[in-house]
Copies of this chain bind each other. A is one copy, B any other.
Amino acid sequence: MIDIQTHDIQFSTKGQTDIIDITDHIQKVLAKTGKQEGQVFLFAVGSTTGLSTIEYEPGLVNHDIAESLEIWAPYKKHYQHNQTWGDDNGGAHVRSTIVGPSLHVPFVDGQLTLGTWQQIVFLDFDTRPRQRKVVVQVIGK
């Protein structure tokens, strides 16, 4: 029978478009539920973060994604957000809204259906280290 269970994972980030592979965390949550078929739903709590998938290799993760985002949401730029709040993370907020906080990954026979070169990542766009939480809901049977 279909059921829904809510968990969360917590971890530290460095900010500055820190891209963290959380695939193992998610697989462990899934394994604990014992569910065989359904969806894992991940939600990033916070407004300077994002969730997506990527081939988790250093070139993309430490350089290419950040460089591309600098083109349209550079960290060093005049943002109204920064001026209003005496803040420095306007670019992080812009990136977060475009990438989005919500991701689902299916599972079948108790296994995530990711591609071979596809990992689940949490993106921390903020300008400083943070403690982060991702809500993980497993819905399935």
Contact = CB atoms under 8 A, between A and B. Distances in A.
Contact of A93 (B38, B39, B60, B71): B60
A27 interface: no
Interface in A11-31: none
A47 B39 contact: no
Give the size category of A's interface with B.
35 or more
Interface of A: 2-4, 6, 37-39, 41, 43, 45-47, 52-55, 57-60, 62-65, 68-69, 71-73, 79-85, 90, 93-94, 96-106, 108, 113-115, 117-118, 121, 135, 137, 139-141
Q: Which 4 A-B pairs have the closest CB atoms?
A: A59-B80, A59-B81, A63-B80, A47-B55
B64 A118 contact: no
A97 B81 CA distance: 25
